[in-house]
Amino acid sequence: MSPLAFVLTLSCYRRWPSRFSTPYSHNLLVLFSSTATTITPPNGNESPSSGPAPPPIRVALTESTGRAVFATRRIGAGDTIHTAKPIVSHPSLSAITTVCYFCLKKINAVTASQSQGVYFCSENCKESSKVFYDVEKKADWLAFDDYCRTQGLKYPLLVKRLACMVISGAAPAGILDILQPANLTQGMILKEVLTKQWYTDVLARIRINAFRIELAVGVYEDLLSLASASIEAEAAVGNAIYMLPSFYNHDCDPNTHIVWIENADAKLKALRDIDEGEELQICYIDASMSYDARESLLSQGFGFKCNCLRCMSGD
């Protein structure tokens, strides 16, 4: 089956009932995208709570920015707010032989498990990948991948993997519908190879919500190390889409930072003390860039003009 035929097949899945069809709620978002450690009661003699504690956050609608994330209690500088597993991820084509095809963890190709030119860091990841890889292997993606490589495209790779997940029944076709879409021009759609409605809808959401995965060198558990993580990070190993982190709004002087240690599992940490009720924000771009560079990149890449305090001051 050709890649185009895969997308045509998706039109049959748009109306399929799915076990994921329950309307999204805040609790579902938390359960779907994040994990947390259990809370130990103040009395050391009491047993801890039976399950993981929810992250200290809530998702709410705002008048100016749509959905946003707010703290439900005080969060200390350096605290881990929550972690999140990707809905879908894909390695960069330049890193296809150096990272796990499933979790994006860096691997040793000599000892890794190989399957038709891609590598997995463990048998567990190889088994987990079956939800999309068995379907993916039924089509010839050589021309598709070559086009993405020569044109420097990354988002179609995420669409490809999500399409295989949908066809296999591992994910509903509308799994990203809750996320904010980008405004795509016809030229942008044509550049991305295919023009089917599902592809366009998914691409519009992936384009504005995708995270570039850069694995930090070492373990970063303190603020000093965290601050230098983005500087010391090696080249990007891939891209991923998350549910809860996608609701964090942008600020050029953020109070929250996202970091990847070993694989595509994201860790969101507080860069400073955060008060209860305060909005949690991340920086979508390199915060060290000049005002003009930030303004241009945010406008062209995300479609908005930043009005954070830093930008309002012209810094």
- Asked if the model's pLDDT at residue 186 lies above 50, the reply is yes
- 29-71, pLDDT tens digit by residue? 443 444 443 333 334 444 444 566 788 999 998 887 788 999 9
- Asked if the model's pLDDT at residue 181 lies above 90, the reply is no
Cα 193 to its chain centre, rounded Å, is 22
Sign of CA dihedral 130, 12, 90, 213: negative
Among residues 187, 139, 186, 179, which one has the least CA distance to residue 163?
A: 139
What the block records as the tokens of 220 is 């970063």
Residue type for 151, please?
A: Q
Q: Do residues 151 and 191 touch, judged by C-beta distance below 8 A?
A: yes
Q: Do residues 270 and 248 touch, judged by C-beta distance below 8 A?
A: no
Q: Which of the residue ranges 15-29, 154-168, 216-230, 293-307 has the most confident prediction, judged by mean pLDDT?
A: 154-168
Predicted TM-score (pTM) of the model is 0.77
Say which residue the tokens 């519908």 belong to. Answer: 177
Q: Do residues 276 and 57 touch, judged by C-beta distance below 8 A?
A: no
Q: Which of the residue ranges 47-51, 105-109, 144-148, 195-199 has the most confident prediction, judged by mean pLDDT?
A: 144-148
Interstrand relation of 118-120 and 238-241 (parallel, antiparallel or unpaired): unpaired
> CB-based contacts of 33: which residues, under 8 Å, 6+ apart?
84, 85, 87, 242, 243, 244, 245
Q: Do residues 6 and 164 touch, judged by C-beta distance below 8 A?
A: yes
- Asked if the model's pLDDT at residue 233 lies above 80, the reply is no
The number of residues making up the chain comes to 315
Cα-Cα end-to-end distance for the chain:
53
Q: What is the DSSP string of 148-207?
A: HHHHT--HHHHHHHHHHHHHHTSS-TTTTTTSPPP---HHHHHHTS---HHHHHHHHHHH
Q: Go through the domains of the chain in sequence order and give each one's CATH number.
A: 57-284 (2.170.270.10)
- Burial class (CB within 10 angstroms; exposed 0-12, middle 13-18, buried 19+) of 257: buried
Mean pLDDT of the chain: 78
> CB-based contacts of 235: which residues, under 8 Å, 6+ apart?
92, 94, 95, 214
